[in-house]
Amino acid sequence: MVRFILASSMEDYNLYDKIISLDNLILAWRKARKHKTKKSYVIEFESDLLKNLQKLHEELKTQIYLPKPLVTFILCDPKTRKISKSDFRDRIVHHALVRILEPIFDRTFIYDSCANRIEKGNLFALKRFDLFSRRITKNNHRTAFCLKADIKHYFEEVNHEILLAIIIRKITDENVIWLIKKIINNPTKSFQGEQTITGMPLGNLTSQFFANIYLNELDYFVKHKLKARYYIRYVDDFIILYNSKEQLEIWKTEIGRFLEDKLNLELHPQKSKIISMSRGIDFVGFRNFWKHKLLRKRNIIKMDYKIEEYKKGKISKEKILESFQGWNAYAKWADSYNLRRRVVQKIYIQ
């Protein structure tokens, strides 16, 4: 017990200094610039790189650092999403913060929390689903059901006070909490100066990180309180597999109550339902059946939309090929050979 207490206190020792150190900021800058070296804002920052990093370090050290307001725009690809973009120097701070805090929190996350984690991701979630599916159905010899759930307006509804209370249980360094508050209360340009008590912007690295911290509370409730063995979460989508539809109904009610009481969230009423495994389960981009997978229609439409943008001259050939390579690597996990051939033809046939 003594050994644990000492390790915990040492972990929090000089945490802020580690985050804002020039060495850490340099590593964070390298991560922030990845795949963006030709962007004008990166080129501008790097025109006097050492001076800009030292200035950022001094602002953080003296705690006069103030993030620039987020720039918000609407992205249609083809689903409409509101993206909030941080200034490049602020993205360096985000990477610096996550580099130090992520290892501390990651070891508290359950194994089957799959999004935005090293060596995890949607394909990891897919493999876990396949494994759980085989186990719960005894290799398709037993009836099973899936609670497929989604949290309504998740990123818009994250409560800052609850988030900070969760973080403070692990991080006691007041300077780190000060920096986190600066990040989560950062306004958009259209609402400069206004501070909100809910919501995290889509597009920030820190939002993805804080999302896992926030819903780790749900993960522990489902795994340790409900003792649901076959549970997987990917951001705000999660599934539970079980043989009893009635038990899943009970768990769904208890999860809904927990989300409302503890996290100020609610299950999406239309997207949270119990489905027979034989119907195929829509999860991490695929419709998952026992012997095969189909690519979700939305992912096909998204690729078709990008091809149309390319045909109209709105995106370059380099960009469409880059998009296709990523999409193709993903689509290969489904029974999609003919579909992928058609997509190639659409790109190259004018």
Residue 5's pLDDT is what?
33
Contact between 21 and 45 (Cβ < 8 Å): no
Q: Which residues, 6+ apart, have CB-to-CB distance to 216 below 8 Å?
A: 105, 108, 109, 110, 113, 166
From the list 194, 227, 205, 211, the residue with the least C-alpha distance to 84 is: 205
Residue 77's pLDDT is what?
63
Q: What SS3 class is residue 315?
A: coil
Which amino acid makes up residue 333? W
CA distance 205 to 291: 36
Residue 287's pLDDT is what?
93
Question: Which portions of the chain are predicted below pLDDT 50?
Answer: 1-10, 190-194
Which tens digits make up the pLDDT trace of 28-78? 999 999 989 999 999 999 999 999 999 999 999 999 999 998 888 777 765
From the list 169, 247, 171, 164, the residue with the least C-alpha distance to 210 is: 164
Sheet containing 230-234: order of strands? 230-234, 237-242, 145-150, 273-276
CA distance 79 to 72: 16
CA distance 307 to 146: 35
Q: Tokens at residue 23, please?
A: 């060495």
Does the CA dihedral 327-329-334-338 come out positive or negative?
Answer: positive
CA distance 346 to 350: 8
Residue 124's pLDDT is what?
95
Strand partners, 74: 82
Q: What SS3 class is residue 95?
A: helix
Which tens digits make up the pLDDT trace of 254-272? 999 999 999 999 999 999 9
CB atoms < 10 A from the CB of 113, how many? 24
CA distance 49 to 67: 18
Residue 13's pLDDT is what?
65
